[in-house]
């Protein structure tokens, strides 16, 4: 097949380069004149100027556009995005589940969404109660003693957990030097450990895709401060030996950080405290359905064991007999608490917490248990119905995501990337590719509980069809994909070699 024979080549088809609903849209800076504005403001009060010599003397250089121009601009941009609302997003380790609209509505309620962070505490009791309620849900779902609510994202929660571990080790007299991280871990794990002054030592995986206990024993010493273990791991497998791992780590005087990125597989099924966990972040933007928003905002509350809870960062909410307090300073924290510091401005991702609580209350303990059941069922269904055409490196059952390697593409001339790009033309967001690093050319699929059997069946047929096409020797079809998207494959080498990171008048088309 020659590119362009079957699918119309773009942009050749039209005068404008537009393709029906997908309209080319110039940059903001290529539209409008400086004089316009899309906001009508009141006139400033007539008072003497107090800015004097601090005044700006040059124009900012922003274009001035009317409201309809701005609305059309962003509407057209939005139409160039894939989204979970529009289609299936089997992006492994990212938990792209449905984002309930009720949560958006509640986050905008007057008396919640419009509160100022520094109102007197007596005027924000409802907000503090909301934060406290979510904290109670998270502690009960994990069985942990406390939770630091302020981390802004998963990686930020990791940092919080490792800082608490470091503070606890220092309190025992020696911060120690090493954090152990399995080689299958997310890149954020070693980066977070490094930010806390630790060197990172990798632990290899067994041929079953799990932590190699013998290697772990070898690496444990009195210089190890803790281990960071993703569980279920990034191969989508539960670490069966987790309690033995916890015991070994504790016996060495170290702490067990569990990366909770994959908590959606466990929610309502197991209390992680029973696994011997000392700290774990929970991605509210994964397990608790808050929107990813094209890359944030998220939130990463971090649950803590009794050994670490005293070191939780400021601020935190404390319930007294008849009110809620916000503990913002060490003086307020009291003598029993030894907060290691502050992770974030204000009081954390309040709006994200609110959406997460609404999600938890909507599903309840029964619904959350059903959620992990359906998420794991969907992943195993994909695994079962695809493992005869794709290659699965590890035996099932898997947890919430199914891992394949690129063995099935051997000698076809098609790579994992090509295969994924062909899926885009079929109307899907690709699975996670080339991660985890422990298998070759990984394809990691996480369907979540949000997908119907019908959606999965059509997807399975699509993947099987593409696999057959690859095996039939139609490599050119894959190399040319995607063909039907607003842009086709982009030159990332050019972007990195000659960075153009902002618009300037002289580099515009």
> By CB under 8 A, what part of segment 156-185 binds other proteins?
156, 158-159, 163, 166, 175
Asked if 423 contacts 463 with a C-beta cutoff of 8 angstroms, the reply is yes
DSSP string, 176-233: -SEEEEETTS-THHHHHHHHTT-EEEEE-B-TTSSB-HHHHHHH--TTEEEEEEESS-
Name the residue nearer to other proteins (CB basis): 57 or 214: 57
Does the footprint of other proteins cover residue 59 (CB under 8 A)? Answer: yes
- For the segment 81-140, give every residue that binds other proteins (CB under 8 A): 81-86, 89, 91, 94, 96, 98-100, 102, 104-120, 122-127, 129-130, 137, 140
- For the segment 480-509, give every residue that binds other proteins (CB under 8 A): 482, 485-492, 494-496, 499-503, 507, 509
Name the residue nearer to other proteins (CB basis): 334 or 411: 334
Name the residue nearer to other proteins (CB basis): 220 or 354: 354
Name the residue nearer to other proteins (CB basis): 15 or 39: 39
Question: Residue 36 phi/psi, 5° resolution?
Answer: -75, 170
Q: What angle do CA 405, 420, 264 make, to 5 degrees?
A: 70
Does the footprint of other proteins cover residue 153 (CB under 8 A)? Answer: yes
Q: Whole-angstrom Cα distance, residue 386 to residue 384?
A: 6
Does the footprint of other proteins cover residue 221 (CB under 8 A)? Answer: no
Name the residue nearer to other proteins (CB basis): 472 or 503: 503
Among 240, 319, 410, 440, binds other proteins (CB under 8 A): 240
Q: Whole-angstrom Cα distance, residue 296 to residue 443?
A: 24
Question: Residue 214 phi/psi, 5° resolution?
Answer: -60, -45
Q: Whole-angstrom Cα distance, residue 383 to residue 400?
A: 11
CB of 270 to other proteins, least distance (A): 5
Asked if 229 contacts 238 with a C-beta cutoff of 8 angstroms, the reply is no
Does the footprint of other proteins cover residue 393 (CB under 8 A)? Answer: no
DSSP-derived 3-state class of residue 314? strand
Does the footprint of other proteins cover residue 214 (CB under 8 A)? Answer: no
DSSP-derived 3-state class of residue 402? strand
Among 237, 422, 438, 439, binds other proteins (CB under 8 A): 237
Does the footprint of other proteins cover residue 248 (CB under 8 A)? Answer: no
- For the segment 309-368, give every residue that binds other proteins (CB under 8 A): 313-314, 328-329, 331-332, 340-352, 354, 358, 360-367
Name the residue nearer to other proteins (CB basis): 193 or 309: 193
- For the segment 400-429, give every residue that binds other proteins (CB under 8 A): 420-421, 424, 429
- In the block, residue with structure tokens 């809620």: 324
Q: Which of 159, 97, 108, 122 is nearest to 350 (CA)?
A: 108
Among 146, 182, 226, 430, binds other proteins (CB under 8 A): 430
């Amino acid at each position: 097949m020659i590119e362009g024979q079957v699918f119309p080549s773009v942009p050749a088809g039209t005068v404008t380069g537009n393709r029906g609903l997908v309209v080319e849209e110039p940059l903001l800076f290529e539209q409008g004149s400086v004089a316009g504005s899309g906001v009508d403001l009141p006139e400033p009060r007539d008072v003497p100027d107090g800015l004097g010599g601090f005044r700006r003397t040059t124009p900012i250089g922003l274009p001035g556009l009317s409201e309809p121009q701005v609305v059309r601009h962003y509407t057209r941009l939005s139409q160039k995005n894939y989204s979970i609302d529009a289609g299936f997003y089997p992006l492994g380790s990212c938990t792209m589940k449905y984002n309930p609209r009720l949560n958006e509505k509640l986050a905008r309620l007057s008396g919640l969404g419009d509160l100022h962070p520094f109102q007197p505490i007596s005027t924000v009791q409802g907000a503090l109660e909301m934060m406290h309620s979510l904290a109670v849900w998270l502690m009960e779902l994990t069985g942990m003693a406390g939770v630091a609510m302020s981390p802004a994202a998963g990686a930020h929660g990791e940092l919080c957990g490792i800082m608490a571990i470091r503070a606890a080790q220092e309190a025992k007299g020696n911060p120690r030097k090493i954090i152990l991280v399995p080689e299958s871990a997310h890149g954020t794990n070693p980066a977070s450990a490094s930010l806390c002054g630790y060197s990172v030592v990798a632990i290899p995986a067994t041929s079953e895709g799990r932590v190699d206990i013998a290697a772990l024993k070898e690496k444990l010493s009195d210089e190890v401060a803790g281990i960071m273990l993703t569980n279920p791991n990034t191969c989508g497998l539960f670490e069966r030996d987790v309690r033995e791992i916890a015991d070994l780590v504790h016996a060495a005087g170290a702490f067990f950080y569990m990366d909770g990125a994959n908590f959606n597989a466990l929610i309502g099924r197991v209390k992680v405290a029973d696994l011997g966990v000392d700290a774990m972040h929970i991605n509210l933007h994964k397990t608790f359905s808050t929107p990813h928003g094209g890359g944030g905002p998220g939130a990463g509350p971090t649950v803590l064991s009794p050994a670490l809870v005293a070191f939780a960062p400021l601020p935190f909410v404390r319930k007294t007999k008849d009110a809620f307090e916000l503990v913002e300073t060490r003086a307020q924290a009291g003598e029993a608490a030894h907060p290691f510091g502050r992770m974030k401005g204000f009081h954390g991702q309040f709006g994200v917490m609110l959406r997460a609580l609404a999600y938890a209350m909507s599903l309840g303990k029964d619904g959350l248990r059903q959620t992990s059941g359906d998420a794991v069922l969907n992943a195993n269904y994909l695994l079962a119905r695809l493992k005869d055409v794709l290659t699965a490196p590890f035996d099932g059952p898997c947890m919430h995501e199914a891992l394949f390697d690129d063995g099935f593409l051997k000698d076809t001339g098609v790579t994992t990337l090509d295969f994924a790009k062909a899926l885009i033309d079929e109307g899907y967001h690709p699975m996670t590719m080339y991660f985890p690093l422990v298998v070759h050319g990984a394809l990691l699929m996480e369907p979540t509980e949000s997908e119907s059997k019908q959606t999965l069946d059509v997807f399975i047929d699509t993947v099987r069809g593409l696999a057959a096409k690859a095996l039939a020797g139609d490599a050119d079809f894959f190399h040319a994909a995607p063909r039907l998207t607003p842009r086709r494959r982009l030159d990332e080498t050019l972007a990195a070699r000659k960075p153009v990171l902002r618009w300037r008048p002289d580099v515009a088309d």
